[in-house]
Amino acid sequence: MRERKNRSNQDNAGAALGGDTGTPGATGTGRVTKTPLEPLKRLEAPTDKAYNEEPAVEAFRKLYRIIRILRAPDGCPWDREQTPESMKESLVEEAYEVVGAFLDQDYAEVREELGDTVLVATMISYMLEQAGSGTVSGVLESVSEKLVRRHPHVFGEDAGSMGSAEVLRQWDDIKASEGKKRRSRLEHGKTRGLPPLSRAVKLQKKASKLGFDWDRSEPVFEKVSEELIELRSAYEAGDHDGAERELGDLLFSVANLARLLKHDPSVALHAGNEKFVERFEHVAGEMEKRGIPMDGDNLAEMELLWQAAKEEQAAKEQLAAERQDRDSAESDITQS
């Protein structure tokens, strides 16, 4: 009875997670999707017949086996102690490290960080499998089914050519027709799990699609200034909770401004972090050379070095911009 009960729980929870229920196309709502079978022969006969997919399949099989060994009773104590709850922050961190490696154009690092991200995602999936809340194969089958279902122009009976804009509209229409329980008009895409800055932009973009948006950026500059004044007023009034609320409004407005200026605030903040690290390392290095301790008593000396690092950094950026303009001009001449 115990085995049967666990299996039943696994099937029910697994369906919600895209678990193996033994019913092709089944979902957690009990509905059966109608994915045309004939066009799915493309999955059996890939367009690129020269590609050998076995190394990728074997590599994932190896990773899965290693994770199972690590989580086994005689495996690694640390890995066995982990839970999906304890691993969720690692999943976010690894994803950001992938982005950082891309921004640095360090593709060896990109490969390593992508591997870490796949590791954490697979580890969490296996933990859920151990808990009877789904299966690793169910997770993979679920996303595969979703890709096929939302790409009828590729896998459907009426497959044909479409532009990117049409594909995106079709994706949204299919997603809306799938009958999933809507969280809210803004959060049906489960944005609550995103880092706050990314969530702010996601919410703003969704509101914009519904027509709720600024028609130009100038008023948003004013809004940022207004929120800064309100934050200062709350702080000066000794309203700690109020200052936190105003700080949230200020950050939300800054994220909105970045969006309207066609910038990703997370990417901009990453660049700002890198700039700070570079300047700080310059200051620390110079202080060490001069035998001056890094402490509050020598703040004036550090400030002078900081300004020098800032000027040096600005000069490098100017040279890089001039080089880019020159290369662009030479490219235009060549093409003409």
For the chain, domain boundaries: 1-19+55-139, 195-259, 265-335
pLDDT for res 175? 80
Cβ contact 285:254 at 8 Å: no
Count of C-beta atoms within a 10 Å radius of residue 323? 10
Determine the angle formed by the axes of helices 265-289 and 84-103, rounding to 10 degrees.
80
C-alpha–C-alpha distance, residues 124 and 180, integer Å:
24
Whether 153 shows a pLDDT value over 70: the answer reads: yes
Quick: pLDDT tens for 79-119: 999 999 999 889 988 988 998 888 888 999 999 999 999 99
pLDDT for res 190? 62
**Among 174, 213, 206, CA closest to 191:** 206
Half-sphere exposure of 185 toward its Cβ, with a 13 Å CA cutoff? Answer: 7
Round the average pLDDT of the chain to a whole number and report it: 83
Q: 148 in helix, strand or coil?
A: helix
Q: Give 21's pLDDT tier (boundaries 50, 70, 90).
A: very low
Helical (H) or strand (E) element with 239: none
**Among 255, 249, 302, 297, CA closest to 280:** 302
pLDDT for res 45? 59
What is the C-alpha R_g of the chain? 26
C-alpha–C-alpha distance, residues 123 and 136, integer Å:
9
C-alpha–C-alpha distance, residues 90 and 298, integer Å:
38
C-alpha–C-alpha distance, residues 135 and 265, integer Å:
36
C-alpha–C-alpha distance, residues 23 and 21, integer Å:
5
The pLDDT of 24-34, averaged and rounded, is 37
Cβ contact 255:265 at 8 Å: yes
Whether 22 shows a pLDDT value over 70: the answer reads: no
Q: What is the DSSP letter of 150?
A: T
pLDDT for res 28? 37
Q: Give 41's pLDDT tier (boundaries 50, 70, 90).
A: low
Please tell me which residue, 173 or 259, carries the higher pLDDT value.
Answer: 259
Please tell me which residue, 91 or 332, carries the higher pLDDT value.
Answer: 91
Cβ contact 174:150 at 8 Å: yes
Whether 14 shows a pLDDT value over 70: the answer reads: no
Q: Is 18 exposed, middle or buried (0-12, 13-18, 19+ CB in 10 A)?
A: buried
Whether 183 shows a pLDDT value over 90: the answer reads: no
pLDDT for res 192? 73
Residues in the chain, how many? 336
C-alpha–C-alpha distance, residues 104 and 276, integer Å:
15
CATH topology (fold) of 1-19+55-139: Helix Hairpins (1.10.287)
pLDDT for res 263? 94
Quick: pLDDT tens for 109-150: 999 999 999 999 999 999 999 999 999 999 999 999 999 999
Are the folds of 1-19+55-139 and 195-259 the same?
yes
Quick: pLDDT tens for 268-316: 998 899 899 999 999 999 999 999 999 999 999 999 999 999 999 899 8
Please state which CATH number belongs to domain 195-259.
1.10.287.1080
**Residue 95, amino acid:** A
Residues near 247 by beta carbon (within 8 Å), at least 6 away in sequence:
231
Question: Any bridge partners for residue 26, and if so which?
Answer: 32
pLDDT for res 48? 65
In this structure, which long-range contacts are made by residues 78-84, counting pairs with CB atoms below 8 Å and at least 24 apart in sequence?
Answer: 79/123, 82/123, 82/127, 83/127, 84/124, 84/127, 84/128
Q: Give 5's pLDDT tier (boundaries 50, 70, 90).
A: very low
Structure tokens at 114: 């992508």
C-alpha–C-alpha distance, residues 117 and 114, integer Å:
5
